Every structure is written in C-alpha cells, then in structure tokens.
Structure 1
Amino acid sequence: MSVKITTVVKQLPKYSRDTKDIIPFVEQWMADQDNRFKRKVIKIFEGAGVDKRYSIMDPIEVFTNPSFQGRNDIYIREVKALAKQALEKALEKAQWKATDIDFLITVSCTGIMIPSVDAYVINDLEMRQDVVRLPVTEMGCAAGVSGIIYAKNFLKANPGKRAAVIAVEAPTATFQLEDYTMTNMVSAAIFGDGAACVLLSSHEEDEGPEILAEEMYHFYNATEMMGFKLVNTGLQMILDKDVPQRITDHFPNIVHPFLSKSGYKIEDVDHLIFHPGGKKIVQTVEDLFGSLGKNINDTKEVLRLYGNMSSATVLYVLEQFMDRGVEKDALGLMLSFGPGFSAQRVLLKF
C-alpha cells in the first residue's frame, strides 16, 4: 500500500505589490534613521531576489498599524478565509468532496488563534464530524513538509483514507515597526504571505507521486538560530546569520544517509523541491546541488514571484513540478529547514 500526493494548489491573499513599489514605504518608515543605514536597508530589499510579494494587509496598513491585537485580528480573519479557499480549490481540482477527507492538518506560525484554523474550516465546509484534526503551529518554515510527513504516517497506518494539509502564513503580520535591527530588515525583505493545500491518499485508485520515504533531522545546540520571540508588539523574528553555514556543514548528514536507506544516492535524485528560505540559503543549496549538474530553478522562481511564505513556500515549488509534469519514475527530494533547528525530508517517486 502506497501513499501518494494527488493534488497541490496555492491560494494568494488579496493584496500584492512589486518590491520596487514597497521601497518608498520603507524609506518613509525609516525617515528618522541615518542615511547610510537607509541605503543599506534599501540594498537589502533590492538584492533579496524577491520581485513581488502578496499580503493579507495593504502596505499602508503594514507600516502604520503597530498593535499586536490589531494585526493578529487581521491574521485570524484572513487565514480563515485563505485556508477555506485553498481547501476548496484543491478539492475541486481533485474532484473530491469535503467529506472525503479523513485527516486534516493545518499549518501556521505567524499568528495566534485558539481554536486553530482547522476548526473553522471543518465548520465552513461541513466536513465529517469524525475527521481527525492536527494543528501544527510552531515549526516555522519546515512545517509544510512536516505536515506531509504526519499525513503520510497517518495514511500508511490507515489504508483507503485521504488527508489534506493546509499551510497558511502571514509573515507581514509579524513585521515590527519599532525594530530597526538587521534581522527585522532582512525578514521584511524576503517574506510574503500565502497559503497552499496538499491532498494525499492511500486509496489504490488515486494517482500522484508516491512518498517513498520521510524523515526529520534535528540539529543539536541550535535552538536560538531561528524562530519568534513574543514581545509586546507581537512576534519578533529571530534569524541567525550563520544559518547558511550550518546548513552547509550538516548537508551531507541530512541528505546522504536518508537516501541510502532507500537504496539511492544524491546522483539518483532528478529534482530538488527545496524551500526558498532566502537568497543566501538558496545560493548555499544551489552550490551544493549544482555541483552535481542539477538546478533549483523552480525554487528561485518561487522566491522571486512570491517571497518566503514560511511553511507554504515549498508547496508552491511542489505545485510547479506537478502542474508542469515530471517524467515517469523520476525521483524528487523535498527539503525544508525550520526552527529547532531542523531539516525535514520527503523522497518522492513521480
């Protein structure tokens, strides 16, 4: 019995701006800062590899609404709508009904809400009252792949079932108006908002890339490298500048033993479905993977078009592969990194 990914869709928020159109807002926000510092920040935005990003808020509101409660209220309202829309779109694409879903996983780390967003989706779409639900709230950028791992394990243990993973994130709701550190600047330059939905199945008749293997990899002594700190004004980004180097140092242990357990080598992998955490991380992995004559063009394209949408981003990369079509029996390695510090891996056979 195999578990397959049958469908992937993205769902974008209603606001969007090109990076060049956001820079004037940034300049106005930094009006009281030193000119040298302002030039440095603008260069960060211009060199982030992000041409456009989407948002649950209009840019004017992003730069003028400092209230944690105000931003979080918008987050709650908008992620409920985005999650519902993403699942509806995925169900329509797969020609499934909402009542076909046995296991519902929702992923988000950029706001706070109890009950979690899955409860609202169940009500809005009148899903079955016995659907199993799992909210994943504190795994950051890695959680899109984490959700797939959890869904796969559930489906492997329950043949003939179907699962949905909905990742919905709004990093703009975490932007700190009184924080002029480089961490806040870099996160503002690379992040955008977005949602995605993945449908998985252990029904024999359902088609899609098969999940051959999945594993998590946890870095020791790295809990302070990435995450959020809860402050009076909301969720303040933590992002260590040494993350790319740590990834480089651990990359052999992350990739080679994992593939070896399934009888493969890195040379056997045809496609890397990699989470675009930011330009430096993308360049780091591109150098490592490019030495094998392979590319991560889809990852770079998603970063350019949408920015880093935390957990949802790698699912946008996966959607590009699935919608374009991949040669039969090709191997794909899904890879994402997140707080902990951790790496999540899924091996796919198309």
Structure 2
Amino acid sequence: MTSTPPAILSVGRALPPNFVDQETLIAALSAFWGARHFNIERLADLHRAARVGGRHLALPLTEYPALDSFQKTNDAFIRVGSELGAAAVSEALSRAGVTPREVDHLYFVTVTGVSTPSLDAKLVNRLGISPAVKRTPIFGLGCMAGAAGLARASDALRAFPGEVAVLVSVELCSLTLQREDTSIANVIATGLFGDGAAAVVLQGGERAPAPGHAPRVLATRSVFYPDTEWVMGWDVGDSGFKVVLSAKVPEVIQANVGGDVDRFLAANGLARGDVRHFIAHTGGPKVLEAFRRALDLPEAALARSFRSLQEVGNLSSASVLFVLGDLLDSGEARPGDLGLLAAMGPGFSAELVLLRW
C-alpha cells in the first residue's frame, strides 16, 4: 500500500519595511561609486536590465554607510533576520492552523549571514516552539536552498508521517554589499538581490487531511553538476561575502535543465506536458529565460516568477517560496493539477520538487 505523500499546508512571507525603488538605488550607488571613477552609465544599464522595480532593504538606506565591517553587517543580519524569520513563521503557522508546540522539525536556510546558535534557535525561544523540535540549519546552498529545504523537510515527513515540519528561509542580501568591489558581478548583484523571509508548514501523510486542497510533495530530485564550483558562490574575506557569479549561469541552465526535468518526470511516469504550474526561482531575467527555453515553455508559464522579480527582486533561497506562496494564494491550482518547483544554486546544482494538488 502506497503511503500518502506529505502536504504543504501554507506559506508565510515577510519583507522589511524599507522599500526603495530601483532608480533611487541606482542614484545612491552611482554617487558612491562615481567617486571611484566607475562607469556610472554602465551601472545604471546593468541595474535596469535586471527588470527589478525596487527592493525591500533590511535597514533604512541611510544606515548602510555605517556598516563598515563584517561584524556590523552580520550583527544586523542576526537582529533583523530574527524579526523577519519570526514574522514569516508566525504567518505560516497561523495560515496552517498549527501551533508552535506542534512543530516537530525546523529547517532553517540562509546564505547571507552566520551565527551560532543559528537563527532557528532564536525562533524556538521567540515563538515558543516545542523544545523537542529537531533543528536542521543549512548554510551554503544559496538560491536553491528554498527548494532543497522543502525537499529535505518532505523527506523527513515520509519517515515520520504523523509529524509537522517548518522550513524557514531568511535572506538579507543587501547586507552582503562589498562597497570596494566594482566588478561586474558585484554591480549586477547590487541591482538584483533583495531582502526577505519565507516559511512553509508541511505535514506528514498520516495526519488529518489539511483544510482545503493542499499540494502534496510527490517526489524530489537533486542534481549536482561536477566541476562547476566556479559558477556561483561566495569568496569569504575580511569584509564578508564577495559574490562569485559567472556570466555562464544561463548557459549551464539551458544546457542541462531540460534533460534533468525530463528524466525526473519520466521516473514518475510523467512528461513536461503533464505539468500545469512551473514554480521557478527568480534568478534574474537571463536565468528565467534560460529555464523557459530549456523546457520550451510559453512566456506565460513563468509570468508569476517574472512578476515576483519585478516587485521584490531576487531573494535568494526565499524567492521560490515567495512564488509558491503567490500560487497558493491565487487559488489557480485545481485538484489533480501537477506543479514543478525548481531552483538552481552553488555547486552548481539544481533542486526539483514535484507537487500534486
């Protein structure tokens, strides 16, 4: 007898209140980097090409000049990240009708700050989560960590089908700004990445049916591309996290993702045409276009991801969860619909999650 797959009950999202439109950010960075003889016209072109309308920042824009050390930026990450993570988890639990004491597993993902104990420990104390909770903090998976965390949480619930898991992603990308780095990769990053947090509540298949029609995690797959560490990541130095971002990211995606998805679907007796909803990480216009071309999708298939990119930017691991939350809120998915959630990140790697409503 086949067991009932884990269900996604809800998604909670939280954004810091400091929204700044893209033109204001272009002006602020131009004023700073212009004094260092950087090509300001090039900066503006790269930022506008990101197709981001504006972003929410961890701090008011006026407070960033004072962040002149890794310790100061990381302290801000811990303080603001704890607040946003708590807000996202609280919203997700409320939507799911689950109390903090019912949470059996807590997965925490980030790539924009570090602490020991990790932020999930602070959330246990802050929200009154059960002291028996099994905590799994994950650092280093970058933009794909939202999808990977969802997969790992669902894996745990297959082993413990009567339990509840919460995944929380906190990414404060603006705090990783390297002000002395005028490389093209860093300039692109300053025009693309935003700040935010997302949380997902899942339950095992043996628990009472979820209210409404919750999507279930049918299957997951991880794909690692050997010898591609150079494609994306951080160089960690005295000033913190310096972005590594190859221009070949879209090329790697377009060359590989189509076959990876086809093999994943075929292993589950499916083909691309069976999937109605594509929930893609908002890596940037070129990344989304490469994903779309790799799967030969119509432009409308990724409209939700492009809209999220325009509204809040790339939130690293939280992005794909924001897109998932938007789909759940829309009510567009119908019973029996299939969805594919996908994200790519450092390794270089891909994470695929197959959903059925």
TM superposition score category, shorter chain reference: over 0.9
Would you say 1:192 and 2:206 are equivalent positions?
A: no
Q: Which amino acid aligns with 1:159?
A: P
Residue 342 (1) aligns with residue 349 (2):
yes
The one of 150, 153, 175 aligned to 1:151 = 153
* C-alpha spacing 1:234/1:4, structure 2 compared with 1 (3 Å): same
Tell me the residue number matched to 1:77. 79
1:314, distance to aligned residue in structure 2 (A): 0.3
Look up the match of 2:46.
Answer: 44
Structure 2 gaps of 5+ residues are none
Q: Confirm or deny that 1:314 pairs with 2:320.
A: yes
Point out the more displaced range, 38-47 or 182-191: 38-47
Q: Match of 2:57?
A: 55
Q: 2:233 aligns with which of 218, 227, 236?
A: 227
Q: Is 1:205–2:243 an aligned residue pair?
A: no
Partners of 1:289 and 1:62 lie apart in 2 by 40
My pick for the range that moved more, 225-234 or 278-287, is 278-287
Is the 8 Å Cα contact of residues 233 and 243 (structure 2) preserved in structure 1? yes
- Aligned-residue offset at 1:87: 0.9
Distance (whole Å) between structure 2 residues aligned to residue 228 and residue 51 of structure 1 = 26
Instruction: Report the alpha carbon displacement of residue 123 of structure 1 after superposing the two structures with TM.
Output: 0.9
**Bigger mean CA offset, 289-298 vs 255-264:** 289-298
Residues of 2 paired with 1:64 and 1:46: CA distance? 27
Match for residue 113 of structure 2?
111
Secondary structure at 1:296's aligned position in 2?
A: helix
Aligned residue for 1:17, secondary structure, equals: strand
Cα distance in 2 for residues equivalent to 1:57 and 1:349 = 39
Q: Aligned partners of 2:287 and 2:68: how far apart in 1?
A: 30
1:29/1:63 contact within 8 Å kept: no
Deviation at 1:33, TM superposition (A): 3.9
Unaligned ranges ≥5, structure 1: none
How far, CA to CA, are the matches of 1:309 and 1:141 in structure 2?
8
Match of 1:245 among 251, 256, 264: 251
Deviation of 1:291 (Å): 4.2
Counterpart of 1:122 in structure 2 is 124
- 2:192–2:313: 8 Å Cα contact kept in structure 1? yes
Q: Percent identity?
A: 31
CA distance in 2, matches of 1:67, 1:251: 39
Q: CA contact under 8 A between 1:165 and 1:199: conserved in structure 2?
A: yes
Please give the alpha-carbon distance, in whole angstroms, between the structure 2 residues aligned to 1:23 and 1:188: 9
Letter paired with 1:115: P
Aligned 8 A contact 2:292 2:298 in 1: no
Contact 2:255 2:294 in 1 (8 A): no
SS at match of 2:82: helix
Find the counterpart in structure 1 of residue 21 from structure 2: 18
Tell me if the contact between 1:267 and 1:292 (Cα under 8 Å) persists in the aligned partners: no
| 2:330 is aligned with 1:327 | no
Residue 94 of structure 1: aligned partner: 96
What is the one-letter code of the residue matched to 1:223?
E
Q: What RMSD over aligned residues (CA atoms) do the two structures have, in Å? A: 1.3
Q: Which amino acid aligns with 1:211?
A: V
Look up the equivalent residue of 2:192 and give its one-letter code: I
Q: 1:286-325 residue pairs with structure 2 within 5 A? A: 286-291=292-297, 295-325=301-331
Q: Is the 8 A contact 1:25 1:60 kept in 2?
A: no
How big is each residue's C-alpha offset from its partner over 1:133-170, in whole Å with a ceiling of 9 and x where there is no partner? 00011100000011111110110001111110000000
| Paired residues of 1:79 and 1:168 also in contact (CA < 8 A) | yes
**Alignment-mate amino acid for residue 107 of structure 1:** V
AA aligned to 1:205 is: P
The alpha carbon displacement at 1:63 in A equals: 4.3
> How far does the alpha carbon of each residue in 1:65-88 deviate from its partner, in whole angstroms, 9 at most, with x for none?
221111111011011111111111
Answer whether contact 2:219 2:355 (CA < 8 A) is retained.
Answer: yes
CA deviations 1:172-200 (Å, max 9, x no partner) are 11110100000100001000000001000
Q: How many residues align?
A: 349
- Please state how far the C-alpha of 1:31 moved relative to its aligned partner: 2.1
Counterpart code for 1:11: A
Provide Cα deviations, 1:281-308, integer angstroms capped at 9, x if missing partner: 0121223345467620000000000100
The CA deviation at 1:64 is 4.7
Letter in 1 for 2:209: E
Q: Which residue of 1 aligns with 2:170?
A: 168
